[in-house]
Amino acid sequence: MTKALAYTCQTACRPCHLIRARRLFPLGNLAQTLEQLAEAGLEDFYNGDIAARIADDVAAYGGIVDQEDLAGYKAEIRDASTIEWRGTHRVFTAGGLTAAPTLAEVIAGMDNALIGARPDAAWFAQLSSVMQRAYANRLDGLGAAQAATEPGDTCTTHVTVVDADGNLVSVTTTLLSSMGSRVVLPSTGIMMNNGIMWFDPQPGTPNAIRPSARPLCNMCPVIVTPIDGNWPRMAAGASGGRRILASVYQVLAWSLDFQLTPEEAAHIPRIDVSGPDCVNADRRLADNILTALRQTGSLSIVEHGVLPINFACPNFTIATGDRAVGWSDVVSPWSAAVAATAHG
């Protein structure tokens, strides 16, 4: 079986330009920090030497994260959320305050959509309306910070992988804004994120900042399997902040409902709905689709280009049991797909 990996980084980070210009971008002490973690174990990040050095650097910069904060952090391992897709597939995604609850609402709202040979005007109009309602519910019930404070540029990476045995992995990680806080701690080489922006600064709201709280986020990694347990199986996700949900749903619909090939799914124009009352549409969509979208809310017709970033950068892999196909965002110059043939 062929092993496939699809990778995409969503933002035009300055180091990318430096790497192209100089062929080498030094990362300070980050390599040594990763080697130390590999030898000492991850606990060193929270309670050991690395934790002490992080706290010292933060204090030297006037920050407030200390060793007690690091020691008190506990990762939560949750069961995957399971969403049924039209009675044929199960979509497994991350639980908690991710995009999963909103994805489930969108899937339910599109369950009665008519599926033809290709997505048509009625399908896109229904998706636009369903997603706007879903976002209104998301922001009212899960938190309001996403609509107001998240900047246009993000620094998110999504990776999907399938190995020679058909095991699928879907991982999203982020520094949040472009290059996070833009502060690199000198003794460890670790770049700090700016995760506080995920919270709502207004007290009493569902996503309000408070001690020990976990914020609402937009991550939407998914793994899809047929209900009968057979093949093909799929892993997918995207980078792109609020735009992630729309792109992931459309990638799933292209593949599961419309049976498009990976090549077709990679090139078909998309829409983006990142709030309760507006929709962005790729200008390559047909005029009758754009007309239908205008009836669903405020419409912006935009380019799907490198900058400005108007759509998320999705990628996916599909495993059929004896081979795998990987696809990454065809527009983004920061995306890539890698394949390796398994031997033996």
The structural domains of the chain, with segments of one domain joined by +, span 2-24+77-178+215-341
| DSSP H or E stretch at residue 54 | helix 49-60
Q: Which residue, 9, 11, 320, is CA-closest to 159? A: 9
Long-range contacts of 282-287 (CB under 8 A, 24+ apart): 282/311, 285/124, 286/121
- Asked whether 247 and 312 are in contact (CB, 8 A), the reply is yes
* pLDDT for residue 4: 54
State pLDDT tens for residues 199-250: 888 888 878 888 888 888 889 999 999 999 899 999 999 998 889 999 999 9
First to last CA, the chain: 10
* pLDDT for residue 21: 52
* pLDDT for residue 143: 53
- How long a stretch of residues is the chain? 344
- How far apart are alpha carbons 252 and 317 in whole angstroms? 11
- How far apart are alpha carbons 339 and 146 in whole angstroms? 36
Which residues of the chain have a pLDDT value below 70? 1-27, 141-154, 340-344
Q: What is the DSSP string of 111-167?
A: TT----SS--HHHHHHHHHHHHHHHHHHHHHT-SHHHHT--S-EEEEEEEEE-TT--
Strands (E), the chain: 2-9, 81-85, 89-93, 154-162, 168-177, 183-184, 191-192, 222-226, 233-239, 271-272, 278-282, 298-302, 313-319, 324-327, 335-341
**C-alpha separations of 308 from 102, 152, 218, 291, 312 in Å:** 25, 9, 19, 24, 11
Burial (CB count <10 Å: 0-12, 13-18, 19+), residue 335: buried
Q: Which residue, 218, 215, 226, 250, is CA-closest to 236? A: 250
* pLDDT for residue 182: 86
* pLDDT for residue 95: 80
Q: Give the predicted TM-score (pTM) of the model.
A: 0.86
- Asked whether 6 and 326 are in contact (CB, 8 A), the reply is yes
Fold designation for 2-24+77-178+215-341: Glutamine Phosphoribosylpyrophosphate, subunit 1, domain 1 (3.60.20)
Output Rg (C-alpha) for the chain, integer angstroms: 21
Q: Which residue, 312, 315, 311, is CA-closest to 338? A: 315
Residues assigned a catalytic role: 156
